[in-house]
Amino acid sequence: MLCLAALLAGCESMSSRMQDRFGDVPPHVRTFAAARKDVFEAAQRAVKDVGLLQGRTSLAAGRIDAYAPIRSGDATRDTHQNTLDIRLTETDTGDTQVALLVWEHSEGNFQAG
């Protein structure tokens, strides 16, 4: 019975440690002294200038989804892709706040063990 209690106590701490490690990451936020439409257009140009492709975009929703083409990797990861989630919101003072999240996706082929 004592071993079972110790095992269950360890499971709880493992769960919280895993949750802390893989918790939500806050976006990088920056505020610009410009209208939302102007910032939206500038963000679209910036995405194109760095060679990313645009997915879903909406000025009304203040959203730009961008992604890099899928690239093949090396022996430890076969494919690799970066995606961006850009959200624009107006502040009370008429400025535009931009929130940016970047993800790196990779898939490996580990058939060799």
Instruction: Give per-residue pLDDT as tens, 17-68.
Output: 666 667 788 999 999 999 999 999 999 999 999 999 999 999 999 999 999 9
pTM of the model: 0.70
**Could you tell me if residue 10 is inside a domain?**
no
- Round to whole Å and give the CA distance between 6 and 1: 9
For 8-22, the three-class secondary structure string (H helix, E strand, C coil) is HHHHHHHHHHHHHHC
Nearest to 35 by CA among 86, 89, 85: 89
112 pLDDT higher than 50: yes
- The CATH number of the domain holding residue 31 is 3.30.310.220
**Which pLDDT does position 113 carry in this prediction?**
46
**Could you tell me if residue 45 is inside a domain?**
yes
**Could you tell me if residue 4 is inside a domain?**
no
**Could you tell me if residue 9 is inside a domain?**
no
58 or 14, higher pLDDT: 58
**Could you tell me if residue 46 is inside a domain?**
yes
Domain count, the chain: 1
**Could you tell me if residue 43 is inside a domain?**
yes
**Could you tell me if residue 51 is inside a domain?**
yes
**Which pLDDT does position 75 carry in this prediction?**
59
**Average pLDDT for the chain:** 82
**Which pLDDT does position 17 carry in this prediction?**
62
**Could you tell me if residue 85 is inside a domain?**
yes
